[in-house]
């Protein structure tokens, strides 16, 4: 199976980013986790991004707050799909990071999840890798069926309580 990379702009992002890592691990996806800043260590970001495909990655998750250029900077230097997580890290409550991450020029997309939406970044990465991996796709389908079943059980319980 291809690996997933999870890159965060600062170790202060980890409490949120951990939710993406947990999802990837839950599905048995091999994951490498790095702290790399688009602004504070741009050369290392370039080194990582430009070698990611040949190093066996299939998808990259990039999380950053404030002027969040990390996901876009990575996306511009790799043909791999990049998922951006805007982190709530400033007085602007994450809107700054959301707009900086999502407003990419045509030809260099970043699939941007919600502010602090790290779990969905993990699920989307699993779905991307699952397209080329039948066993992973089966696991994802089983997860979805289980999720549906939990909602239907909650529905039955609540309907009973308020009948």
Q: Which residues bind ligand RP5 (CB under 6 A)?
A: 9-10, 12-13, 37, 64-66, 87, 89
What is the token pair recorded at 9? Answer: 């702009």
Q: Which residue, 23 or 87, is less far from ligand RP5 as judged by CB?
A: 87
From 90, 105, 107, 124, select the one nearest 20 (Cα to Cα): 124
Is 11:37 a contact under the CB 8 Å cutoff?
no
**At its nearest, how many Å lie between ligand RP5 and the CB of residue 38?**
7
**At its nearest, how many Å lie between ligand RP5 and the CB of residue 18?**
14
Is 64:87 a contact under the CB 8 Å cutoff?
yes
Q: Which residue, 4 or 69, is less far from ligand RP5 as judged by CB?
A: 69
**At its nearest, how many Å lie between ligand RP5 and the CB of residue 20?**
14
Q: Which residue, 9 or 81, is less far from ligand RP5 as judged by CB?
A: 9
Q: How far apart are CA 138 and CA 127, in angstroms?
A: 11
**At its nearest, how many Å lie between ligand RP5 and the CB of residue 159?**
43
Sign of the dihedral defined by the CA atoms of residues 136, 137, 138, 142, in that order: positive
């Amino acid at each position: 199976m291809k690996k997933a990379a999870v890159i965060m702009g600062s170790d202060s992002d980890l409490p949120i980013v951990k939710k993406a890592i947990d999802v990837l691990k839950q599905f048995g996806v091999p994951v490498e986790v790095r702290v790399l800043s688009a602004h504070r260590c741009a050369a290392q970001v370039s080194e990582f991004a430009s070698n990611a495909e040949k190093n066996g990655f299939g998808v990259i998750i990039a999380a950053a707050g404030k002027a969040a250029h990390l996901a876009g900077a990575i996306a511009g230097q790799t043909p791999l799909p990049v998922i951006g997580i805007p982190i709530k890290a400033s007085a602007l409550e994450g809107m700054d990071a959301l707009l900086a991450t999502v407003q990419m020029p045509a030809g260099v997309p970043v699939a941007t999840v919600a502010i602090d939406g790290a779990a969905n970044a993990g699920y989307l990465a699993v779905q991307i890798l699952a397209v080329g991996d039948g066993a992973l796709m089966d696991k994802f389908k089983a997860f979805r069926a289980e999720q549906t079943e939990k909602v239907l059980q909650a529905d039955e319980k609540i309907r009973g309580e308020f009948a």
